[in-house]
Amino acid sequence: MRRAFNFSAGPATLPVPVLERAAAEMLDWHGSGIGVMEMSHRGREFGEIFERCEARLRELLAVPANYKVLFMQGGALAENAILPLNLSRGGVVDHVLTGSWSKKSAKEAARYCDARVAASNELDTAPHHRSLPVPASWRLSPGASYVHLCSNETIDGLEFHEVPDLRALGSDAPLVIDCSSHLASRPIDWSRVAVAYGGAQKNIGPAGLTLVFVREDLLGHALAACPSAFDYSVVAANGSMYNTPPTWAIYVAGLVFDWLAEQGGVEAIERRNIEKAALLYAAIDGSGGFYRNPVDLGCRSRMNVPFFAHDERLHAPFVESAAARGLVQLKGHKSVGGLRASIYNAMPLEGVQALVSHMQEFAASHG
Amino acid sequence: MRRAFNFSAGPATLPVPVLERAAAEMLDWHGSGIGVMEMSHRGREFGEIFERCEARLRELLAVPANYKVLFMQGGALAENAILPLNLSRGGVVDHVLTGSWSKKSAKEAARYCDARVAASNELDTAPHHRSLPVPASWRLSPGASYVHLCSNETIDGLEFHEVPDLRALGSDAPLVIDCSSHLASRPIDWSRVAVAYGGAQKNIGPAGLTLVFVREDLLGHALAACPSAFDYSVVAANGSMYNTPPTWAIYVAGLVFDWLAEQGGVEAIERRNIEKAALLYAAIDGSGGFYRNPVDLGCRSRMNVPFFAHDERLHAPFVESAAARGLVQLKGHKSVGGLRASIYNAMPLEGVQALVSHMQEFAASHG
């Protein structure tokens, strides 16, 4: 077997030790005689798995005691509705539009409340969003139930390197971040973030698990139309077991958290992520125009790196020749085209080095 | 390693060959160099897995071409809201109450429409529902958007051995069945069933996948409050990939469907399920009153068999002594107490035989 370096934007590459352990325990978890997929979610064995997973996650991200961690389903797209159903109170909410995902969030929220655009980068050169609107320019609504932003735009490759401080902007609204594609890649500043949510299928585990971190004082105001299984208060009161949780995904997430702790934790992985991203952007910027990344330096994503060859006819042969040497899933998202390398926590530095080598050799042979 | 016989009501036991294959392919699916959890849901490899899974399922259950199969998330409890959001049109719906799960469905539906009780077995001796209301006695509402029933009550151990024919009752309303805990254990009569839904974690695969079968002519009437990710029309139009589907659970479900086909298909497994259930009920009924099952003969579940010792103080030692010989998860649901053996497709006859032997020995030593 030859493992590929997998640059998929999600579901995404997982650490080899995690996969090996999941395989080894498949038929018999810790001598129980049954596998994790076969365990009652209310049994002692899964209880251990669940508690360890949540404790590890809280420790890794330094989640304050007054935040609930909810293990939900449906991904960030479902959460785009579940969030305003729980927190909008049917009033005004502010959205910061920075790319594909934040726009979807705002569009869905508008079905449940008065969703306003506080800021937008839509005037950036289409189809590429290049910049993030400067927080000082945001038009925040007085009395908004919350302010929503996507802290890492997976398709456009933009990342808030620092989450804005709403209080410094004169707002006391809770800040909600969709952090799907960089969750657990760096610390979260909980003094600025009231709610964070994300699908697991980037840095955390299999698709089908959604993590929601919510400050307790925001609970208890769901709209009447909110399904019980998606009511944050109901989910919290039942320890994420009102409905049967995605047990296997939670187990794998727990193994990933163990692995992350072994890597030195989130601060350590952030340093490696910055190093990996710097290497890749340097290869793009130093290619003499063969490759380009359209995003402003100050907001380039450290997770998702879209790039384009100077001639778009080169994209298909690039992807093909990369796959031939075990570098897979490098095609750009269909909405923007080009190429994209997602370099999540589990992508080793060696994978990025191999990609850079391929980029250089490809440029040399197609220059 | 010693595999236990696992009688969990769900998540539940899976076939050993399925687990072995999932373990073997964990790091490298079919030479792709990546595992299934790491695949983009839009890539060629997962596309193959998904298509094969759906095709197998359609074949096994003889799903007509005018029914969509939707791969969703949130389990049957979420579906209890998603269903009326999609199909009630805010009008009248009829519910048949037969136990714990059907009551939850009716309660949740009442938040979205005029949910009426067409029939109920609530007058059965509490806390045990013993019987199913005879269809001829149902009070069906003219013009109801649909009639809902739970075709197998997991906690109470009641099963409709035959799904009622609403047309014979003078109704042309679509019949909707929550068939979570016996889905794929027997054929579905699609001439009587317009919509069927169920969580995967009984007969099909890991928790976190919900299957919804819906007749196409019912699509397109979602209420405004229905989240896009749970709008059947949106899910159908996007081939269950509007949001990222639970890819691993779909893969395992596909392996289970392959296994089921190797067993001879759904008709063959139904025969084995009837045989297994008959063996277990015979042991209960033939115990001279040591054990009892409160359900009427004509509606005893072939999947979930609750039973009670003549002295409730015997339940804990029964569970403990059973576990000591590798028969696990036999404790009854907390709402009814006692004992329960769930004997889904993947429980071999040998498991039921071992349970029956234990029951007999336990009775002999505690008689």
Q: Which residue's structure tokens are 């006819």? A: A313
One domain, residues A33 and A54: yes
Q: Which residue's structure tokens are 């429980």? A: B347
Give me the active site residues of A, please.
101, 178, 202
Closest residue, chain B, to A2 (C-alpha):
B33
Report, in this order, helix, strand and coil percent for chain B, each rounded to 5: 40, 15, 45
Alpha-carbon dihedral sign for residues A74, A79, A81, A86 = positive
- Whether B28 sits inside 8 A of A1 (CB atoms) is yes
User: Which of B3, B32, B73 to mutate: most A Cβ within 10 Å?
Assistant: B73
Considering only CA atoms, give the Rg of chain A. Answer: 21
CATH of the domain at B93: 3.40.640.10
Residue B187 scores a pLDDT above 60: yes
Q: Which positions ≥6 away from B197 have C-beta within 8 Å?
A: B76, B79, B83, B176, B177, B178, B179, B180, B210, B211, B212, B213
CB interface of A with B, residues 6-25, below 8 Å: 6, 8-14, 16, 19-20, 22-24
Q: Report yes or no on A234 lying in a domain.
A: yes
Q: How far is CA A140 from the centre of its chain?
A: 25
Q: How far apart are CA B144 and CA B138, in angstroms?
A: 13
One domain, residues B258 and B268: no
Q: Could you report the per-residue pLDDT of B24-57, keeping only the tens digit for each? A: 999 999 999 999 999 999 999 999 999 999 999 9
CB atoms within 10 A of CB A292: 15
Strands B195-199 and B210-215: antiparallel
E-strand ranges in A123-232 read: 146-150, 152-153, 158-159, 175-178, 195-199, 210-215
Q: Which residue's structure tokens are 């060696």? A: A350
Q: Look at residues A106, A104, A82, A78 and name the one whose alpha carbon lies nearest to residue A92.
A: A106
CB interface of B with A, residues 59-78, below 8 Å: 73-78
User: Which of B3, B8, B32, B34 to mutate: most A Cβ within 10 Å?
Assistant: B34
The confidence score (pLDDT) of residue B182 equals 98
- Whether B11 sits inside 8 A of A39 (CB atoms) is yes
One domain, residues A65 and A185: yes
Q: Burial level of A107, CB count in 10 A (0-12/13-18/19+)?
A: middle
Q: Which positions ≥6 away from B70 have C-beta within 8 Å?
A: B211, B212, B213, B214, B232, B235, B236, B240
A289 near A296, Cβ under 8 Å? Answer: no
Q: Could you report the per-residue pLDDT of B65-89, keeping only the tens digit for each? A: 999 999 999 999 999 999 999 999 9
Q: Which residue's structure tokens are 């696990």? A: B328
Whether B201 and chain A come into contact, CB under 8 Å, resolves to yes
A64 near A265, Cβ under 8 Å? Answer: no
Q: Report yes or no on A34 lying in a domain.
A: yes
Chain A residues close to B41, C-beta within 8 Å: 11, 207
A227 closest CB neighbour out of B13, B76, B82: B82
Q: Is B42 annotated as a binding residue?
A: yes
Chain B residues close to A181, C-beta within 8 Å: none
Q: Is B244 annotated as a binding residue?
A: yes
CB atoms within 10 A of CB A186: 24
Helical segments of chain B, H only: 16-24, 44-60, 75-87, 100-109, 232-237, 247-262, 266-285, 315-324, 349-365
Helix (H, G, I), strand (E, B) or coil at A212: strand
- Whether B108 sits inside 8 A of A227 (CB atoms) is yes
Alpha-carbon dihedral sign for residues A126, A132, A138, A143 = positive
The confidence score (pLDDT) of residue A122 equals 81
Question: Which residues does residue B213 pair with via DSSP β-bridges, in sequence order?
Answer: B69, B196
Q: Report yes or no on B128 lying in a domain.
A: yes
The confidence score (pLDDT) of residue A125 equals 64
- Whether A38 sits inside 8 A of B12 (CB atoms) is yes
Residue B2 scores a pLDDT above 90: no
One domain, residues B247 and B289: no
B244 closest CB neighbour out of A10, A22, A230: A10
At B213, the pLDDT band (50, 70, 90 cuts) reads very high
| Percent of chain A residues past pLDDT 90, beyond the cut | 96
Q: How far apart are CA B99 and CA B303, in angstroms?
A: 15
Whether B241 and chain A come into contact, CB under 8 Å, resolves to no
One domain, residues B246 and B323: no
Of B262, B290, B312, which residue constitutes the final position of a domain? B262
Chain B residues close to A27, C-beta within 8 Å: 1, 3, 16, 19-20, 23
Tokens encoding B91: 């009008």
Q: How far apart are CA B245 and CA A73, in angstroms?
A: 10
Total domains in chain B come to: 2
Q: Could you report the per-residue pLDDT of B330-343, keeping only the tens digit for each? A: 999 999 999 999 99
One domain, residues B56 and B141: yes
The confidence score (pLDDT) of residue A123 equals 75
Q: Report yes or no on B197 lying in a domain.
A: yes
Q: Report yes or no on B5 lying in a domain.
A: no
Residue A1 scores a pLDDT above 90: no
Tell me phi and psi for residue B197, to 5 degrees: -145, 155
CATH of the domain at B292: 3.90.1150.10
Q: Which residue's structure tokens are 């006859």? A: B349
The confidence score (pLDDT) of residue B122 equals 81
| Percent of chain B residues past pLDDT 70, beyond the cut | 98
Chain B residues close to A208, C-beta within 8 Å: 73, 208-209, 244-249
B228 closest CB neighbour out of A22, A108, A224: A108
Q: Which positions ≥6 away from A99 have C-beta within 8 Å?
A: A121, A129, A150, A153, A155, A156, A158
Q: Report yes or no on B9 lying in a domain.
A: no
Tell me phi and psi for residue A341, to 5 degrees: -115, 120
Whether A1 and chain B come into contact, CB under 8 Å, resolves to yes
Q: Could you report the per-residue pLDDT of B261-320, keeping only the tens digit for each? A: 999 999 999 999 999 999 999 999 999 999 999 999 999 999 999 999 999 999 999 999
Q: Kindly report the nearest CA distance between residue A277 and chain B, in angstroms.
A: 21
One domain, residues A284 and A227: no
Q: Could you report the per-residue pLDDT of B95-125, keeping only the tens digit for each? A: 999 999 999 999 999 999 999 999 999 876 6
* Complex confidence, ipTM: 0.98
The confidence score (pLDDT) of residue B367 equals 80
B14 closest CB neighbour out of A6, A38, A228: A38
At A294, the pLDDT band (50, 70, 90 cuts) reads very high
Residue at A46: amino acid letter: F
The confidence score (pLDDT) of residue A367 equals 80
Q: Is B273 annotated as a binding residue?
A: no
Q: Which domain holds residue B209?
A: 17-262
At A328, the pLDDT band (50, 70, 90 cuts) reads very high
Strands A67-72 and A210-215: antiparallel
- Whether A246 sits inside 8 A of B12 (CB atoms) is no
Q: Kindly report the nearest CA distance between residue A201 and chain B, in angstroms.
A: 8
One domain, residues A26 and A160: yes
Q: Look at residues B163, B102, B182 and name the one whose alpha carbon lies nearest to residue B342.
A: B182
Chain B residues close to A227, C-beta within 8 Å: 74, 78, 80-82, 85, 108
Closest residue, chain A, to B17 (C-alpha):
A27
Cβ-based contacts under 8 A for chains A and B: 238
Residue A113 scores a pLDDT above 80: yes
What element of type H or E holds A48? Answer: helix A44-60
Q: Which residue's structure tokens are 């609107």? A: A133
Q: Look at residues B158, B153, B100, B117 and name the one whose alpha carbon lies nearest to residue B293.
A: B158
Tell me phi and psi for residue A18, to 5 degrees: -65, -45
One domain, residues B203 and B293: no
One domain, residues A30 and A101: yes
Whether A45 and chain B come into contact, CB under 8 Å, resolves to no
Whether B111 and chain A come into contact, CB under 8 Å, resolves to yes
Q: How far apart are CA B157 and CA B26, in angstroms?
A: 36
Torsion region of B69: left, alpha or beta (phi above 0 gives left; psi -120 to 50 gives alpha) = beta
The confidence score (pLDDT) of residue A126 equals 63
Q: Report yes or no on A280 lying in a domain.
A: yes
One domain, residues A186 and A288: no
Of B262, B288, B311, which residue constitutes the final position of a domain? B262
Q: How far apart are CA A349 and CA B97, in angstroms?
A: 58
Q: Report yes or no on B7 lying in a domain.
A: no
The confidence score (pLDDT) of residue B204 equals 97
- How much is the mean pLDDT over chain A? 97
One domain, residues B150 and B290: no
Q: Kindly report the nearest CA distance between residue A271 and chain B, in angstroms.
A: 24
A145 near A173, Cβ under 8 Å? Answer: yes
Q: Look at residues A55, A302, A293, A82 and name the one whose alpha carbon lies nearest to residue A178.
A: A82
A53 near A257, Cβ under 8 Å? Answer: yes
Q: Kindly report the nearest CA distance between residue A191 and chain B, in angstroms.
A: 30
Alpha-carbon dihedral sign for residues B211, A202, A194, A98 = negative
At A2, the pLDDT band (50, 70, 90 cuts) reads confident
Q: Is A243 annotated as a binding residue?
A: yes
Of A262, A285, A305, which residue constitutes the final position of a domain? A262
Give me the active site residues of B, please.
101, 178, 202
Q: How far apart are CA B165 and CA B159, in angstroms?
A: 15
Tell me phi and psi for residue A177, to 5 degrees: -120, 130
Chain B residues close to A205, C-beta within 8 Å: 37
